[in-house]
Amino acid sequence: MALFDVVPAPAVVEPAPGSFTLQVSARIRVSPRAEGVASYLADVLRPSTGFALPVVQLEDGDRDGDILLVLGEADPRTGRHGYELMVTGRLLVIRAEEPVGLFAGVQTLRQLLPAEVESGSPAAGMAWAVPAGRIVDFPRFGYRGAMLDVARRFFPVDEVRRFIDHLALYKVNHLHLHLTDDQGWRIAVKQWPNLTLYGGGTEVGDGSGGYYEQSDYSEIVAHAAERFITIVPEIDMPGHTNAALASYPELNEDGRAPDRYTGIEVGFSALCVTRELTYQFVDEVFEEVARLTPGPYLHMGGDEVKTLEPEAYDGFVTRVQRIIAAHGKTPMAWHEAARAAVGSSIAHYWGTAAADADVTAAVARGVRLVLCPPNRTYLDMKYDDSTVLGQRWAGVVGVRDAYDWDPGSYLSDVDSTAVLGVEAPLWSETIRSLADAEFMAFPRLPALAELGWSPASAHDWESFRQRLATHGRRWDAMGLTYFPSPEIPWR
Ligand code: TNX
């Protein structure tokens, strides 16, 4: 590998002659408070190298050939989330102010080792060399997200864990879980058990759905937290609620439960927004989800409601966002809700570059944005005309389409300080397996991850496609399914 072949592109890369070679006797020396990052690194390196790689205290004596994970004394440009990586023939040192920065540095180190490091089984006769030099690196945006739609197709806990592992490699730090939709309700709510017992039993097509017990959800949250990834749970409402409406007749305008739904139309369902019981339902659901979620956000959906008058919809949005705030969380919603959103909330903008007066006005009131324009970021759009999976209502989205835009200047009427970052949603109407999901996410997800992490000055399609070209072998070693796009000169 070369020091330059890192995705997302680091802010500063200074190659030097020579290399560091990881030996059987190497140790991982770590500062107090960062032992978790050290054991994560050891777990990555041990299976393929076969080395013992004991984790010891930083103070535990200098020895050539060690890897050092050090809190403090990093280049000041690294800030609270960045890191500095120094590689010489004798030592490999990652420094950061916080463990989250060390973790980002560890992902860079993974990418600087030979691809075989990802194979998970002993690769004999390898020289585990890392090119010498220095990297100083820090994120452009604080919110670097992906979204997984576990409602249209249910993804079991193990598959979500593996998806989270993939996100970590590209420094994505938020996973938005679309937990409920017309086709299924995926998170157990103790006060409303039929949501999952009945409403969780379907998905798109004839599959039998599934759901997370609260302990399963907590396991996902913990796995993500070990990788410095925040889970953003979405309970979509007032639309996209057929699974809830089928489970509880009293949530319906006419008091009658519809059949469960397994098609892919959108916009036909809505909670009864005029009955008090609906707000009790919303409050109790968010109370339980808030209790299980250490992250700061609760997402209320709010998209594609075709059966409510604007006033009724707006009143619902404002009231629900106040409920979320009362549970101590920052409300998030799709941007249709921006008009009625509270000033401290965040909107996921899924429009295109054309001006949206409601969104601009909301930003003026203090609403901030996560950008997910569908013609750039939707991982469920086809790559090209030959893609079997996916949809094409937002057009085909090639790797260059995903990469070649600037989140900082995308919306001309919105100040870039209102943009918290980007998110890549993977809707799952056409997805039947984790391999399908990986195929749609790779290589577009790394492209979007680079937009979120790397400085605008590093943005360069030609550089990106050359760097990404070295990652195909890495994905082969990981057993990750991807689209071998003809836009990338795979090596
Ligand atoms: C639009 S984007 C939706 C989803 C669909 C998706 C399919 C958004 C907020 N809503 O309900 O799954 O398109 O591409």
pLDDT in tens, 191-233: 999 999 999 999 999 999 999 999 999 999 999 999 999 999 9
Query: For the residues 264-268, what does the mean pLDDT come to?
Result: 95
Query: For the residues 415-423, what does the mean pLDDT come to?
Result: 96
- Mean pLDDT of all residues in the chain? 97
391 CB less than 6 Å from ligand 1? Answer: yes
Closest Cα to atom 13, ligand 1: which residue?
A: 427
Query: For the residues 116-135, what does the mean pLDDT come to?
Result: 95
375 CB less than 6 Å from ligand 1? Answer: no
For the chain, domain boundaries = 12-137, 143-478
> What is the share, in percent, of the chain residues with pLDDT greater than 70?
100
CA–CA gap between residue 302 and residue 313 (Å, rounded): 9
At residue 162, does pLDDT exceed 90?
yes
* pLDDT grade for 354, boundaries at 50, 70 and 90: confident
304 CB less than 6 Å from ligand 1? Answer: yes
* pLDDT grade for 27, boundaries at 50, 70 and 90: very high
CA of 380 to the centre of ligand 1 (A): 9
CA of 23 to the centre of ligand 1 (A): 49
304 as an active site residue: the answer is yes
The model carries a pTM of: 0.98
Closest Cα to atom 2, ligand 1: which residue?
A: 350
427 CB less than 6 Å from ligand 1? Answer: yes
Closest to 164 (Cα-Cα) out of 119, 233, 100, 227: 227
Q: Residue 30: in which H helix or E strand, if any? A: strand 28-30
Count of beta carbons in the 10 Å neighbourhood of residue 119: 17
Task: Report pLDDT for 363.
Answer: 97
482 CB less than 6 Å from ligand 1? Answer: no
Q: Which two tokens stand for residue 238?
A: 């007032």
* pLDDT grade for 243, boundaries at 50, 70 and 90: very high
> Hey, which of 389, 427, 431, 440 would you mutate to test ligand 1's pocket, going by the most ligand atoms within 8 Å of its Cβ?
427
Closest Cα to atom 11, ligand 1: which residue?
A: 266
CA of 264 to the centre of ligand 1 (A): 10
Query: For the residues 7-16, what does the mean pLDDT come to?
Result: 98
Half-sphere exposure of 204 (CA within 13 A, CB side): 20
Task: Report pLDDT for 62.
Answer: 87
Which residue of the set 84, 304, 311, 450 is catalytic? 304
At residue 355, does pLDDT exceed 80?
no
Task: Report pLDDT for 353.
Answer: 87
As beta bridge partners, residue 148 has 177, 426
CA–CA gap between residue 471 and residue 200 (Å, rounded): 37
CA–CA gap between residue 97 and residue 367 (Å, rounded): 30
Task: Report pLDDT for 242.
Answer: 98
Closest to 483 (Cα-Cα) out of 406, 392, 395, 380: 380
Same fold flag, 12-137 and 143-478: no
Task: Report pLDDT for 124.
Answer: 85
Query: For the residues 45-50, what does the mean pLDDT come to?
Result: 97
Per CATH, the number for 12-137 is 3.30.379.10
Task: Report pLDDT for 61.
Answer: 86
Per CATH, the number for 143-478 is 3.20.20.80
